[in-house]
Protein backbone atom coordinates (compact mmCIF):
# COMPACT_ATOMS: atom_id res chain seq x y z
CA UNK A 1 0.00 0.00 0.00
CA UNK A 2 1.24 3.48 -0.89
CA UNK A 3 2.09 5.70 2.11
CA UNK A 4 -0.58 8.37 2.56
CA UNK A 5 1.09 10.49 5.25
CA UNK A 6 3.66 13.18 4.39
CA UNK A 7 7.37 12.85 5.12
CA UNK A 8 9.48 15.65 6.60
CA UNK A 9 11.17 16.08 3.21
CA UNK A 10 7.81 16.42 1.47
CA UNK A 11 6.67 18.92 4.11
CA UNK A 12 9.79 20.98 3.42
CA UNK A 13 8.84 21.06 -0.29
CA UNK A 14 5.33 22.24 0.61
CA UNK A 15 6.79 25.05 2.73
CA UNK A 16 9.13 26.02 -0.11
CA UNK A 17 6.18 26.24 -2.51
CA UNK A 18 4.29 28.43 -0.03
CA UNK A 19 7.30 30.70 0.54
CA UNK A 20 7.76 31.17 -3.20
CA UNK A 21 4.15 31.52 -4.35
CA UNK A 22 1.54 31.57 -1.59
CA UNK A 23 2.72 33.56 1.42
CA UNK A 24 0.30 35.92 3.15
CA UNK A 25 0.57 39.42 1.69
CA UNK A 26 1.83 38.37 -1.73
CA UNK A 27 0.47 40.78 -4.31
CA UNK A 28 -2.61 39.64 -6.23
CA UNK A 29 -1.30 41.52 -9.27
CA UNK A 30 1.94 39.51 -9.39
CA UNK A 31 0.42 36.23 -8.18
CA UNK A 32 -3.29 35.97 -9.08
CA UNK A 33 -3.44 32.29 -8.05
CA UNK A 34 -1.71 32.76 -4.70
CA UNK A 35 -3.49 31.16 -1.73
CA UNK A 36 -2.15 33.88 0.64
CA UNK A 37 -1.41 31.43 3.45
CA UNK A 38 -0.77 33.01 6.85
CA UNK A 39 -0.66 29.90 9.08
CA UNK A 40 0.38 26.29 8.45
CA UNK A 41 -0.63 23.75 11.09
CA UNK A 42 0.85 20.27 10.51
CA UNK A 43 0.02 17.33 12.78
CA UNK A 44 2.93 14.94 13.28
CA UNK A 45 2.77 11.36 14.49
CA UNK A 46 5.88 11.06 16.61
CA UNK A 47 5.81 7.25 16.39
CA UNK A 48 6.87 7.31 12.75
CA UNK A 49 7.76 10.99 12.19
CA UNK A 50 5.09 11.45 9.53
CA UNK A 51 2.67 14.34 9.03
CA UNK A 52 -0.81 12.80 8.97
CA UNK A 53 -2.81 16.01 8.49
CA UNK A 54 -2.21 19.65 7.69
CA UNK A 55 -4.32 22.79 7.84
CA UNK A 56 -3.81 26.14 6.12
CA UNK A 57 -5.40 29.22 7.71
CA UNK A 58 -5.56 32.95 7.09
CA UNK A 59 -6.25 32.39 3.42
CA UNK A 60 -7.09 35.37 1.20
CA UNK A 61 -7.57 37.94 3.94
CA UNK A 62 -9.23 35.61 6.44
CA UNK A 63 -11.84 34.05 4.17
CA UNK A 64 -11.32 30.62 5.65
CA UNK A 65 -9.03 27.67 5.77
CA UNK A 66 -8.29 24.41 4.05
CA UNK A 67 -7.50 21.10 5.74
CA UNK A 68 -6.13 17.83 4.41
CA UNK A 69 -5.87 14.46 6.14
CA UNK A 70 -4.40 11.06 5.35
CA UNK A 71 -6.83 8.84 7.18
CA UNK A 72 -10.13 7.10 6.57
CA UNK A 73 -11.38 7.02 2.95
CA UNK A 74 -8.26 8.69 1.55
CA UNK A 75 -6.43 7.00 -1.31
CA UNK A 76 -4.18 9.76 -2.71
CA UNK A 77 -1.06 10.67 -0.71
CA UNK A 78 -1.33 13.80 1.43
CA UNK A 79 1.64 15.45 -0.29
CA UNK A 80 0.12 14.98 -3.75
CA UNK A 81 -3.23 16.45 -2.73
CA UNK A 82 -1.64 19.46 -1.02
CA UNK A 83 0.66 20.23 -3.96
CA UNK A 84 -2.17 19.80 -6.48
CA UNK A 85 -4.22 22.34 -4.49
CA UNK A 86 -1.31 24.78 -4.19
CA UNK A 87 -0.67 24.62 -7.94
CA UNK A 88 -4.35 24.89 -8.90
CA UNK A 89 -5.98 28.02 -10.29
CA UNK A 90 -8.91 27.77 -7.88
CA UNK A 91 -8.22 28.24 -4.17
CA UNK A 92 -11.32 26.18 -3.29
CA UNK A 93 -11.58 27.83 0.10
CA UNK A 94 -13.68 26.12 2.73
CA UNK A 95 -14.85 28.50 5.47
CA UNK A 96 -14.76 27.42 9.11
CA UNK A 97 -18.50 26.66 9.08
CA UNK A 98 -17.84 23.85 6.56
CA UNK A 99 -19.80 25.30 3.64
CA UNK A 100 -18.02 25.46 0.31
CA UNK A 101 -17.23 28.97 -0.90
Does 75 reside within a domain? yes
Domain boundaries, position 25? 8-86
Q: Are 82 and 67 in contact (CB under 8 A)?
A: no
Q: Are 101 and 94 in contact (CB under 8 A)?
A: yes
Does 33 reside within a domain? yes
Nearest CA among 93, 80, 78 for reference residue 35: 93
Q: What is the pLDDT of residues 45-97, one digit of tens each?
A: 999 999 999 999 877 655 678 899 998 889 999 999 999 999 987 654 444 44
Does 95 reside within a domain? no
Q: What is the pLDDT of residues 5-39, one digit of tens each?
A: 999 999 999 999 999 988 887 766 666 678 888 89
Q: What is the pTM of this model?
A: 0.80
Does 30 reside within a domain? yes
Does 50 reside within a domain? yes
Q: For the chain, how many structural domains are there in total?
A: 1
Does 44 reside within a domain? yes
Amino acid sequence: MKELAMTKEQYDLVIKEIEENHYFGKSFSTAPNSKHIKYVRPNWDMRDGMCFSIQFDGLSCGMGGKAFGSGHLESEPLYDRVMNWLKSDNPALIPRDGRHA
